[in-house]
Structure 1
């Protein structure tokens, strides 16, 4: 009998924004139902808290510093090999529907067919944002979160509708095929990524609530880390709200888009069930969203809201329940070939979730993330190990959080525990050497800038806002 696997990846969905992990008010009944059938990985991370580098890392199973896809102007081209290539070589039908954030549908990225893909704008992406040195960078005009915030439809919500409809059609067509072949379908949804425009009734449901204020607000005396202050200054979304009421609209819209996402996932899962196809399901997001915490919006940092991701696997071979071992998207990249009994040659940092979840929880497992993209005057690097989260900023003092006693990461204890910082800095360098990667990242971006005719030309190239969906 053939095997089928559906891999759903959303965009900007926070690790905590699901009912099945205890969120106090966000409604995600479809993801909760999927969690009951499978396994929730409670401590999952993105390899980079921004779209394009993460998607290249997820495709290849390699860290950002191993792929060299540093930022949103460096989309995946098809090398190194992806898990899709492994499936193709193994005779598994593998197709995609929706957001990929690669360069071009003609690139050999590991899919037999690519349906209505969202790629980087004009095949080049946000070239201006590769200019990261503080003395040269230029902030884009307009607001990152969108000109309008509130109830309604956006090009992204309409695109998600089209992706879901095409997925429903795909299942129906697949169910009518003759033959018995293994298959894998990747579905890329955009919500809850900004613009913060949310369909009804999802928006009003949260706007009418007495929602809690985000934590650690600078207006209440919280002092942001100097690296974060510089990164956020590239475009300070908190300062660009037109009124306190619009800010409340933004918070409500984000939570409403999380439920809108869940609604769309419910449609996908219902269509799969009604088609009669037998398939397992993996759900994750590419990164999270700060949603006002610390006065920050979007992603681009190593705090839990941005770097943590939801991960649910209802997959044969993965024991049901919860798994507290720290994991990342790189582990999903290893899981997919394993599901089909295929081997992926080469050395990669991830492990199949089938193995991780079958073993006792390993809270000491080391997971890293890194960021070299929009607004970053230098690289930032995260190491998650045991009770600690260590964040190293090139050229700045580090941050250290005791997750056992401070899971919300409210108190930086780096100055109190230099011994732990030294130990974790050494451990980090077993995975990535910031002193080396800093040079490599800037050199790669400098080469890109020169390829477009230099800095003045590069600052005018590519999209300045959220990537547009395809026109058809």
Structure 2
């Protein structure tokens, strides 16, 4: 073959390659644009017991239920450290608290570390966080953010927005967060997929409902949980805490009995407009405070009354949360985005609704260990799916990357749970137990730090700090976790096996502090 013929052959091959690239480019771009969008709705302290999809027959959460009905409901979604800020840090990093450096609330999260939104951003996604973040630093890895400073306020809240401007916005916080989310979605670059975190303030203490929801549950007399009058026998950590409805919950601040509405402008009530304050104060002064005064309560009767008020305010606050989730779902329906958008609803952890006589979270006990988690992924997750597998919040970041077809970094400690819900992939080696570690002590609720293992049947816990003791629960025979059987001689062999498995998990997740304590 002559040199000229060879050159012509090469030229023809190059022409064919160029032509193929030209032909395939729209297809490749289309495939890229069809990567699913993600909306991750993260509430605060909204527990699974307060959701009708999880069996509560006294409340209606139709929009959360819709996500579950059209996708999957997780029955054993659990957190690795049941407290607000650390849970968000775990969401971002896919790591336990001892690895992401954020074990306690009210600290500064290291926002220079690798997070899943930053990875998505590097791989072509538009990313945004709107609402509550509560990590002491501004978001990194986001194209846009508009976040509440700290805990934020329910009425007329401040928002810190790109590029770091603080603006006070009129209205109720849950509605405003939805307004901002829809506004961002309307203004996004439609040629690229997006990932939006909607960070809700609801249902955080002190549970201020939106005006249309005042008194929404006043006609319901909620039954006391089976463990409401727990005496904490044999459980020193449970006995020493400071989170009871009877003693810790405050009449004025938490339950709005005889509130002083004439406070400074930076307080919750100092932000109210006259138009907002009139119906709010009328409800709590003329109805609730008057009722309290007329009853002359004390002792167990007072505690029971406080419980009813707590439940009614908490659930009324959750009512606007569910309503606004409905607004987001309706937006997706009306814009044609629903078919290619993954929607997740979950909370940063569970919460006690009177179980053990408590509110708040922190303990490894079931109601704060579990978190609600529902997810809709059209065309991938079969509607009406239920999952009973152990899924942890360290799994959230790897899963979101998996959905976006991006490989998770090796140092993320979680695993994508998509094989559990998609029907594809090997699930035979999925975890059969989980590891937990809580740190914050003594403020604000005097819960001793502890770590432990939860298996299908048993829970073994080591409390430390000023405390130094173990607890063991048989969840099959004692689902309320009222009987610590650690000192039962019949459990000796079981305890040895559980401690061996606990040690394996501590080593697997590289928890050096727990490893040292386990040797003592």
Superposed displacement of residue 60, structure 1: 0.4
2:168 corresponds to 1:172? no
Question: Which of 360, 364, 373 does residue 302 from structure 1 map onto?
Answer: 364
SS of the aligned residue for 2:172 comes to helix
SS of the aligned residue for 1:426 comes to helix
- Using CA pairs below 8 Å that are at least 6 residues apart, which structure has the higher relative contact order? 1
Question: Which of 370, 388, 407 does residue 343 from structure 1 map onto?
Answer: 407
Residues 340-366 of structure 1: per-residue CA shift (max 9 Å, x gap) = 110122233311121233356878622
Report 1:23-42 matches (<5 A): 23-42=56-75
CA distance in 2, matches of 1:438, 1:368: 11
> Equivalent residue for 2:150?
120
CA distance in 1, matches of 2:441, 2:327: 34
The CA RMSD measured in Å over matched residues stands at 2.9
CA distance in 2, matches of 1:365, 1:67: 24
Question: Which of 351, 370, 395 does residue 437 from structure 2 map onto?
Answer: 370
> Equivalent residue for 2:312?
252
> Equivalent residue for 1:406?
478
Decide whether aligned partners of structure 1 residues 356 and 5 sit closer, same or farther in structure 2, where only a CA change above 3 A counts: same
Aligned residues of 1:379 and 1:393 also touching (Cα < 8 A): yes
> Equivalent residue for 2:239?
229
Q: Which has the larger radius of gyration?
A: 2
Superposed displacement of residue 200, structure 1: 5.0
Residues 220-244 of structure 1: per-residue CA shift (max 9 Å, x gap) = 64537212333x23x6553144462
Aligned residues of 1:35 and 1:314 also touching (Cα < 8 A): yes
Report 1:69-148 matches (<5 A): 69-105=102-138, 109-115=140-146, 117-120=147-150
Decide whether aligned partners of structure 1 residues 60 and 364 sit closer, same or farther in structure 2, where only a CA change above 3 A counts: closer
> Equivalent residue for 1:214?
225
Aligned residues of 2:41 and 2:344 also touching (Cα < 8 A): yes
TM score, norm. by length of structure 2:
0.71
Residues 407-433 of structure 1: per-residue CA shift (max 9 Å, x gap) = 333433333323323322222222227
SS of the aligned residue for 2:316 comes to helix
Decide whether aligned partners of structure 1 residues 435 and 10 sit closer, same or farther in structure 2, where only a CA change above 3 A counts: closer
CA distance in 2, matches of 1:53, 1:343: 24
CA distance in 1, matches of 2:237, 2:371: 23
> Equivalent residue for 1:388?
458
CA distance in 2, matches of 1:371, 1:430: 18
SS of the aligned residue for 1:205 comes to coil
CA distance in 2, matches of 1:344, 1:18: 32
| Structure 1 residues without counterparts, runs of 5 or longer | 123-145, 147-151, 442-472
CA distance in 2, matches of 1:262, 1:215: 27
CA distance in 1, matches of 2:514, 2:244: 25
2:336 corresponds to 1:276? yes
Aligned residues of 1:198 and 1:253 also touching (Cα < 8 A): yes
SS of the aligned residue for 2:50 comes to coil
Decide whether aligned partners of structure 1 residues 292 and 121 sit closer, same or farther in structure 2, where only a CA change above 3 A counts: closer
CA distance in 2, matches of 1:261, 1:319: 25
TM score, norm. by length of structure 1:
0.78
Decide whether aligned partners of structure 1 residues 18 and 347 sit closer, same or farther in structure 2, where only a CA change above 3 A counts: same
> Equivalent residue for 1:312?
374
